[in-house]
Structure 1
C-alpha cells in the first residue's frame, strides 16, 4: 500500500496534537498556509477528511482521531532511532596522553565540559613525563611518540614526522604567588622586593639551558635585580607541585600561566610582574592521520583545539587581552 507523503503526515500530526495550524507551523518552521496545504494533500491521498474546519478552531474527524496516536508514536520512534545513531556516531573510547602538569592543572579541571557534550564517549586520561620531548631525548628513549594514546599533547618543538600536528600554546615562565604576598609587612610590589620572599624552584632532572627552561637567575638578570640569591628556597621535581606551594603562600614560583589557569581564574595565584621569559618548547596536539577518522577521536580533537583557542591565560602578561585582570605592577 502506498503511503501519503511524509511531509503531509508530519504536518497533520503537529496540527492535530496542538489543535492549531499556527502552532504546528511554528513547530515545523513553516507558514500556516503550508500546513493547510499539506493537510489538504493528505486528505486527497486518504480520500477522507481528517479535520472539521470550524470558524474559530479545528476539530479532528473520526479518521483524524484514529490516525493521530499511531502517527505520534511513529514519529517518536523515528526521533529515538535518529538520536541512537547520533549517539553511536559519538560513542566509543578515547585515550588522551599529556604531560603531568598540563594533564592535572589544565586538562582535568575542564573535562566536565566535554563529558556534558559527549556523555557516551569513554575517556581515558594518562599523564606521562615522556611527553616532554627533552625528557625522551635525554633518556635516549625512542618508540611511540603517542604513548599508546589516540591523542597526545606534547611539550616540544613541533617536529613530529608522520603525525598530524596542531599547536596549542606557547610556553613561558612568569613569577606567581599567593595574593597574600602582595600585602603584609613586606608587600611584593617591585622585583627588588623578592629579597624578602622565598623563591620556589622546580626541575625536570635535565641539564637544560636557560632558554629551554628559564630559572630564577635568568629572570632576575632580565629584571635587572641585584642582591637576591637566585638559588635559595626549596626545589620541587614537578612544576605543578611548586605552583601549589606558591598558592599556599610558601613563596614565589616561576610558573607557567596556562598550567595555572584554574588558580589564576580563582585568584589563588596572581602574577605580580609583567616580565615573562619564553620557554623554547610549546605544547602541541598530535595524532595519527587515521585516528581522526574515528568520530569519538575527532570530537575530542576538535574540543581540545576549541578549548585552547579560548584560553584566557595563553599569552604572556605583556600581551594580555584588555578584559583580563591586570597583574600587580610597580
Structure 2
C-alpha cells in the first residue's frame, strides 16, 4: 500500500509558500490560520523534517521544503489535467467558466450575450471563483484569474488578458464640476476603503499612499470599509463616496456617466496584479476553450483600446 501525504496539507503548503504567509494562505483557501498551521504540522510529521522557516520577510522553504515544492507544482497541475481528461471523455456542449465576482458583475456578464450570439452552440455556465478551493472545483473548464503581474505571463495553458490601472472614481453628483484641479480636495470628500484596515493589498489600494504621492497633509479621513472592491464600487455608484477602482471594473460605468474620475489620468497607478485566462492542458485542443479564449482576449483588447 502506498504511503501518501495528506492532500489538504500539500495544498496548504503550496499556498503558504506562494504567499510566504499563513495568514494570506488562509484567506485564499477560505479557512482559518490555525487550520493552515495544523495542516503544515501534519505534513512536516509525514515528511519527517521542517518545511518552512520564518524570516523578517516572511516564510521561506527549508532545503527539505524546497525539494518538496520542486515537484509539487507539477503534481497539482497533473491532477488538474487528470480532471480535465475525464471531462473531455464526455465533454458537453457547454463551457464552465470560473471568474471573480467583481469582474463578472462589472464587465463580463455585460458581454456574454455577444459570445452567445457568435457561438450559439456553446452554452456558458458562469461560476464565481474567489478562493483557491473554489478554483479547484471539478466543474470549471476555464478560469479568469487575477494574479501578481510578475506571475501573469503567457504560457501554453494561459493567456494574459490585461493589467489594469487604479484610480479614484465617484458618483457624478459628488463632483458636479468634473475632476479635481487641486488634488487636496480629496480630503474634503467621503472616502470608501477596501479590505481590512492596515492590509489594503498593495500601495495602489492605500488611501495613505495616495495622499502621500498627491502631497496631501494629514491622514485620510475614515470612511466606510468594504471587504471587496466590487461592493465598494457598488457603494460608489450609489453616491456613498470616492473609491479606488480598477480600470476594467469601472470602464462601462465611466463610459455611461454613472461614475466619473476624481483626478486626471496622469495620476493613475498601475495595478500590482493582472488578469489572465487559464485552462487545463488536457483542454488545450478543445474547440470550446479555443473559441472562448479567442473571444475573451478580443473583448479585453477592445476594452483597453476604448
Q: Same fold (TM over 0.5)?
A: yes
Cα deviation, residue 204, structure 1: 6.5
Report if the CA contact (8 A) 1:97-1:147 is conserved: no
1:198 Cα deviation after fit: 0.2
From 173, 178, 187, the counterpart of 1:180: 173
Q: Aligned residue for 2:223?
A: 233
Tell me by how many angstroms 1:121 deviates: 1.1
The alignment covers a number of residue pairs equal to 212
Counterparts of 1:1-330 in structure 2, within 5 Å, are 92-130=93-131, 136=132, 148-157=139-148, 158=151, 164-183=157-176, 188-203=180-195, 207=199, 210-211=202-203, 214-227=205-218, 229-273=219-263, 274=265, 275-311=267-303, 314=304
Against the structure 1 CA distance between its residues 194 and 286, is the aligned structure 2 distance closer, same or farther, given a 3 Å change threshold?
same
The runs of 5 or more residues in structure 2 that have no matched partner are: 1-91
Residue segments in structure 1 that go unaligned for 5+ positions in a row: 1-90, 131-135, 315-320, 325-330
* Higher RCO (C-alpha under 8 Å, 6+ residues apart): 2
Aligned 8 A contact 1:219 1:277 in 2: no
SS in 2 for 1:293: coil
RMSD of the alignment, in Å?
Answer: 3.0
CA distance in 1, matches of 2:142, 2:198: 26
- What secondary structure sits across from 1:251 in the alignment? coil
TM-score when normalising by structure 1: 0.58
Q: TM-score normalized by structure 2? A: 0.62
Q: CA deviation at 1:226?
A: 1.5
The answer to whether the Cα contact below 8 Å between 2:95 and 2:141 also exists between their aligned partners in 1 is: yes
Contact 2:152 2:275 in 1 (8 A): no
How far did residue 279 of structure 1 move? 2.5
Q: CA deviation at 1:189?
A: 3.8
